[in-house]
Structure 1
Amino acid sequence: MDYLVEAKRVFDIEIDALSRMRDSLDSSFEQILKQVTECKGKVIVTGVGKSGHVGRKIASTLASLGTPSFFMHPDEALHGDLGMVSNADVVIVISYSGESDEILRMLPAIKHIGATIIAVTGRRESTLSKEADYIQLIPNLEEACYMGLAPTSSTTVQLVYGDSLAVTASAIYGFKDADFGRLHPAGALGKKTILRVKDLMATGEKNAVVSHHSALKDAILELSKKGLGIVTIVDDTGRMLGVITEGDLRRQLERGADIYSLSVDDVMSSSPAYIKKDKMAVEALNEMKKKNISSMPVVEMGLSIGTIRLQDIIGIGIV
């Protein structure tokens, strides 16, 4: 066997299956989409075997994109999980044959509860189809397994169908990146869309600040103590006048300056880049990268209120 040819054959068969499924979508999809987006309860996805694994992913994707959803295993449903189903819910049942025993045992109870049943199946004449309120028919497909037995093309089609349902529903909701971030606070994208400068900046005793009356040596001590790579120079009211960075000190030393005789006014940069606390952390990251700096003061109404560092933003997973 030429294994590369075999692998490409699998791709070809499954691509063809997806194309056929795409081309078969009609008003049934629109009716099912309406049920999902107008559901007053939850969207519950169920299935067994490979379809069950696909169902878990579909439920997860729906939830990620704004549709309250979870997966329910048919066996667990018959042992108490049906208590999570209400008559306001939509139950998406995935079964290519439409005759899986576990599915058929569960259907009468769901119908008694009064939930809307959506069948995603390959057989219109199946028992599942007859019991469902809405049917999404999957075309008769060739499984990519060389024996034609293992669910391959059919489960790929189920998976992509679920993605299309979830993505299209999210578009109807007007789901934005900020909404996605709210539901994914631990992920990089979530952090980009949620975390603001104020969430990461050093403030209070952790911030490096000295008065404009100070000697340069005081700024050096503050730099060393706080470890921010920058110290903000302020007037008597706390208004930012400038900054001194580790780079500024290094340049003074390279010139042979007597740093113990200098004041902060002699060294500070009086027009530094700064950012406001309510800006997104990713904006601060981009600004620091653009200006090739590693720290930046946070200023509100001219007053120094904190410092944000490049490494703190990168350290939490925003890149």
Structure 2
Amino acid sequence: MAPEPASPDMFDFAASGRRVLEVETRGLEAIAARIDGAFSAACRLLLGGRGRVVCTGMGKSGHIARKIAATFASTGTPAFYVHPGEAGHGDLGMITDADVVLALSYSGETDELLMLLPVLKRQGNQVIAMTGRADSTLASTADIHLDVSVPAEACPLDLAPTASTTAALALGDALAVALLEARGFTADDFARSHPAGTLGRRLLLHITDVMHSGEGVPRVRAEASLSEALLEMSRKHLGITAVVDDDDRLLGLYTDGDLRRTLDDAAIDLRATRIAEVMTRTPKSIGSDALAVEAAQMMEAHKINALLVVDDDGRVVGALNIHDLLRARVV
């Protein structure tokens, strides 16, 4: 008879969860101890390949293979996943003779994978196998075998792939990162393959992509009155105005915060006072070739909400505030 299930009120879920992680940790430690010449050979083969990496596997191994392919692709190693069952019905045409095949099967005896091996060999593909059995058909047929065997599955029945799939996933990550480092893959490279992600926006978006330019930049001459400067600030809705000379070179800045301080001075006449008398004479500014994230960092460091953008000659060419960066999802 099957054992009676424990009452939810009596079962120690936390202890069960810790046991799973302990079992999977031992599995990862076993894998780490076996990263050796075969791992290095696999990296050299993948790095020197003329084509792509084709990852394949059935069931849970297929899910892991799909994730490994995605990790490869996003870190500079062109890769994709092919379902071995579909491969036998036409998808083999996706695999060229220049591709390296990474095949995952813990048993090493998955029929759908074994069926593909003769075809791949005839085509000239080199095969890297990840299995838990070094004496399996897949392991012995592959050009390189990576042993992902674990002492035990986390499943108490030793049936559901748990520690073994975690080990295979981690070894796939190890391959991808080793290749990334060998290639000198940079954060900019990563951003180019993730343009819609947060990192992509932070690394690819430039000041010119988010700033206000042309007539959208609030600016007045130094001889303008304070009231004229306030009208310009109101029209342009950025909470600031640049103060420039006749060549548009930056002389100073006036902000909403400056206005509050000005109004505290009862002696100030808005119409008679020139903006040059109350402006900030050494305002923070940023170059137009800078990244938008640099503007965000500058605003945070100096506790300001807006920046003027200047060219190499100090001419004002743009302006932006924190709301522009928020809309661009840079911050």
Give the TM bin, normalised by the shorter chain: over 0.9
Contact preservation (8 Å) 2:71, 2:173: yes
Structure 1 residue identity aligned to 2:34: S
Between 1:158-167 and 1:271-280, the stretch displaced more is 271-280
Contact preservation (8 Å) 1:244, 1:269: yes
Counterpart CA distance in 2 for 1:130 and 1:259 is 87
TM-score (norm 1): 0.95
Between 1:216-225 and 1:293-302, the stretch displaced more is 216-225
In structure 1, the residue matched to 2:296 is: 285
Question: Cα deviation per residue 1:58-113 (whole Å; 9 max; x = unaligned)?
Answer: 11111111111111111222232222211111110010011112212222222232
In structure 2, the residue matched to 1:225 is: 235
Contact preservation (8 Å) 2:132, 2:147: yes
Contact preservation (8 Å) 2:201, 2:330: yes
| 1:175-194 matches, cutoff 5 A | 175-194=185-204
**Residue 206 of structure 2 corresponds to residue 210 of structure 1:** no
**Residue 53 of structure 2 corresponds to residue 43 of structure 1:** yes
Contact preservation (8 Å) 1:58, 1:162: yes
Counterpart CA distance in 2 for 1:107 and 1:314 is 52
Counterpart CA distance in 1 for 2:37 and 2:190 is 28
Contact preservation (8 Å) 2:305, 2:321: yes
In structure 2, the residue matched to 1:254 is: 264
Contact preservation (8 Å) 1:95, 1:120: yes
Contact preservation (8 Å) 2:307, 2:320: yes
Contact preservation (8 Å) 1:24, 1:139: no
Q: Secondary structure at the match of 2:252?
A: strand
In structure 2, the residue matched to 1:263 is: 274
Counterpart CA distance in 1 for 2:149 and 2:246 is 76
**Residue 40 of structure 2 corresponds to residue 30 of structure 1:** yes
Given the alignment, which residue of 70, 77, 80 partners 1:70?
80
Contact preservation (8 Å) 2:106, 2:149: no
Q: Secondary structure at the match of 1:260?
A: coil
5+ residue gaps, structure 2, are 1-10
In structure 2, the residue matched to 1:200 is: 210
In structure 1, the residue matched to 2:101 is: 91
In structure 2, the residue matched to 1:296 is: 307
Question: Cα deviation per residue 1:22-47 (whole Å; 9 max; x = unaligned)?
Answer: 10121000100101111111011111
Contact preservation (8 Å) 1:208, 1:231: yes
Counterpart CA distance in 2 for 1:168 and 1:314 is 35
| 1:14-163 matches, cutoff 5 A | 14-163=24-173
Displacement of 1:131 in angstroms is 2.5
Percent identity reads 43
Q: Secondary structure at the match of 1:135?
A: strand
Displacement of 1:128 in angstroms is 1.3
TM-score (norm 2): 0.92
Contact preservation (8 Å) 2:150, 2:167: no
Structure 2 residue identity aligned to 1:268: M
Counterpart CA distance in 2 for 1:316 and 1:237 is 31
Contact preservation (8 Å) 1:252, 1:259: no
Displacement of 1:53 in angstroms is 0.8
Contact preservation (8 Å) 1:274, 1:297: yes
Counterpart CA distance in 1 for 2:237 and 2:49 is 53
Displacement of 1:226 in angstroms is 1.4
Displacement of 1:197 in angstroms is 1.6
Counterpart CA distance in 2 for 1:249 and 1:80 is 71
Displacement of 1:315 in angstroms is 3.2
Structure 1 residue identity aligned to 2:90: G
Displacement of 1:318 in angstroms is 2.6
Structure 2 residue identity aligned to 1:84: M
